[in-house]
Amino acid sequence: MPENDTPAGINKNLLILHFTVFIWGFTSILGKLITIEAVQLVWYRVVIAAISLFLYFKFNKNTIKVNRNTLLKLVFTGALVGGHWILFFASIKASTVSVTLVCLSSITLFTAIFEPIINKTRISKLEVIAGIFIIVGILLIFEFETQYTKGIILGLISAMCASLFSIINARQVKQIEAPVIAFYELSGAFVWITAYLFFTHGFGQGMVLQNSDIGYLLILGTICTSLAYVAGVSVMKEFSAFKVALITNLEPVYGIILAFILFGELHKLKPGFWLGALIILSTIFLYPVAQKQITKRKTR
Band the pLDDT of 143: cuts 50, 70, 90.
Answer: low
Closest CA to 13 of 182, 241, 245, 231: 231
Residue 82 has pLDDT above 50, yes or no: yes
Which is more confident, 274 or 77? 77
Say if residues 230 and 176 touch (Cβ distance below 8 Å).
no
Q: What is the pTM of this model?
A: 0.77
pLDDT of residue 202: 84
pLDDT of residue 116: 87
Average pLDDT, the chain: 82
pLDDT of residue 51: 94
**Percentage of residues in the chain with pLDDT exceeding 90?**
25
Residue 295 has pLDDT above 80, yes or no: no
Average pLDDT of the segment spanning 74-80: 94
pLDDT of residue 1: 37
pLDDT of residue 250: 78
Amino acid type, 192? W
Write the pLDDT tens digit of every residue in 91-128.
888 877 767 777 777 888 888 888 888 888 887 888 88
Write the pLDDT tens digit of every residue in 247-259.
887 776 776 666 6
Which is more confident, 196 or 25? 196
Residue 49 has pLDDT above 90, yes or no: yes
Which is more confident, 200 or 143? 200
Write the pLDDT tens digit of every residue in 224-253.
989 888 888 888 888 888 888 888 877 767
pLDDT of residue 145: 56
**Percentage of residues in the chain with pLDDT exceeding 70?**
87
Domain ranges of the chain: 7-299
**In residues, how long is the chain?**
300
Say if residues 224 and 26 touch (Cβ distance below 8 Å).
yes
pLDDT of residue 214: 93
Most confident stretch, 19-28, 37-46, 258-267, 276-285: 37-46
Whole-angstrom distance, CA of residue 106 vs CA of residue 72? 28
